[in-house]
Amino acid sequence: VMSFGESTRHCYVNAEGLHLREYRTPFAEGEERIGDLRLAFEDLTATQVLTKAVLASPLSAAPAVLLLIVGVMLTSRHQPRLSAIEVQLRRAAAAPSIKEASLQPLDVSGAATVGWNRVLEELTQQSPGSPSLDQRLVKSARSLQTNRIQEALDSLADGVAITDPDGLVTTANLALLSLVGVNGERSELLGQSMTKSLGCHAAELSGPLFQATQQERAAIQELTRDFPGGQRILRVARHPLTGGRRGEPRGHIWSVRDITQAKLADRMLNEFIDSATHELRTPLTNLRAYAETLAISDVLEVEQQKEFCNIISSEAARLAHLIDDLLDISSMQVGAMSISRQKVMVERLLSEVVAKVRPQMEKKEQILEVRLSEKLPELNLDKSKFTAALVNLLGNATKYTPAGGHIVFRAEVMDDYLVMDVEDSGVGISAEELPHVFDKFFRSKDERVQAENGSGLGLALAQEVIRLHGGSITVHSQLGEGSKFTVKLPAR
């Protein structure tokens, strides 16, 4: 049953500066409020118009002012008619329904009364089978509500669906279509069950999400699905909608979220913790062993003592480097990593980078080809961080290139950019893993990569340092055919 609340009058100035008088009457179906009927008129008195006209007009405009006064007087004749419409609107608000309000047509004296009489004429000429004004108001208001709700749902990144008590989908947002692999229209999901929409198999149907005894409770379940781009992990949550008779469920609301990347991040973090534990334990063990040997032995030759001290220094530096990486990653995650620029001769910096990694390459008898163009610019760089980024790139090249392999390091200025390439003939990166090489904690599952020590932090840090300098880093690689990392930096 439709009902109307008490009418209220509101006077205000709109964005265009017009003085408006607005009447608002709330209406509801049963106990559920649906909306408001709103009727507004421009509220301008003759005195207001006359005052403004006299103050704003010179004497030469007296004829125009007189004409305006006459117009206002004619307009003011319509005010009683507007009041009569207001009286009938209040009567409609107090009546159980529009038909019982005994609304009457008015004498035609302007556009307002013509409009009022047309509304009444439409009401009286309705055929018995046509919907009443009450019903049309409810239908229009509900349609507006539904459209607004659908727009809100479609703006969400998570998939959302509503099912009725029979488990059939009545509402679905656009995100859900891609998450369940539907390439067509929304209508393909409507009217079918969520088990079918999600493509659930027998083993999954035994989970809490689909058990008949769990339908009155909230439930969450993770589902793995195969897509053209690889597997996805979906977290599906279901919550009952209550409000029916005696609190009975009216259906369920479902949310579907792609947590593939979150799961990958968790896995990489766990692998990093394992790797970091090993990376920390190894230098600590060596430090302890050589320090204890030096402490308890009285017969070591001077050369042996120097060798042991060098090993201790090397392991301490290795430990400090890992701790620095961890601190940098922590700063990067909270957006606190910063750079301190200074004038740097690029050619000298690159020579220092090569000198740092050359001993590792000589140990593996690798061929390093350095191609630096003439007249490399002087740039404002954070020398320490940028050097570390390039050392990481060249260090990875020698680490993952077999003995006797070939590595090329190029640097040249092209189109106002300093372009640096590190190209190797190493193990390469698979197409599946290539998009993740700059992810924090990521390490390839290739056995040849796992055999080398590493934390999975170097490339993530290098990318961030280069980004802070206004540059970019890209990678091209094929498994078994080597990799090529390219750094572009504004040459200014």
Residue 71's pLDDT is: 45
Residue 463's pLDDT is: 93
Flag whether the pTM goes above 0.85.
Answer: no
Q: What fold does the segment set 342-490 form as a domain? A: Heat Shock Protein 90 (3.30.565)
Contact (CB, 8 A) for 398 and 364 = yes
Helix (H, G, I), strand (E, B) or coil at 242: coil
Residue 52's pLDDT is: 53
Region 265-333: CATH code:
1.10.287.130
The verdict on domain 156-258 having CATH code 3.40.50.300 is: no
How far is the C-alpha of 308 from the C-alpha of 300, rounded, in Å?
Answer: 10
Contact (CB, 8 A) for 106 and 84 = yes
Token pair, residue 45, equals 């008195």
The DSSP letter of residue 318 is H
HSE of 67, CA atoms in CB hemisphere, 13 A: 5
Give residue for tokens 């020590």.
Answer: 453
Token pair, residue 420, equals 């640096």
Residue 483's pLDDT is: 95
Token pair, residue 300, equals 């070591």
- Amino acid in position 398: T
Q: For residue 434, give Cα distances in angstroms to 114, 228, 460.
A: 72, 17, 13
Residues facing 2 on adjacent strands: 29
Q: How many residues make up the chain in this entry?
A: 492
Residue 380's pLDDT is: 93
Digit-coded pLDDT (tens) for 385-441: 899 899 999 999 999 999 999 999 999 999 889 999 999 999 999 988 899 899 877
Residue 482's pLDDT is: 92
Contact (CB, 8 A) for 20 and 42 = yes
Residue 467's pLDDT is: 92
Our CA dihedral for 28, 30, 31, 32, rounded to 10 degrees, sits at: -50
The structural domains of the chain, with segments of one domain joined by +, span 2-131, 156-258, 265-333, 342-490
Token pair, residue 318, equals 């290795």
The residues of the chain scoring below 50 in pLDDT are 46, 49-50, 53-54, 56-76, 78
How far is the C-alpha of 437 from the C-alpha of 393, rounded, in Å?
Answer: 12
Q: For residue 247, give Cα distances in angstroms to 13, 161, 170, 241, 244.
A: 46, 21, 20, 9, 5
Contact residues for 463 (Cβ-Cβ < 8 A; gap 6+)? 438, 473
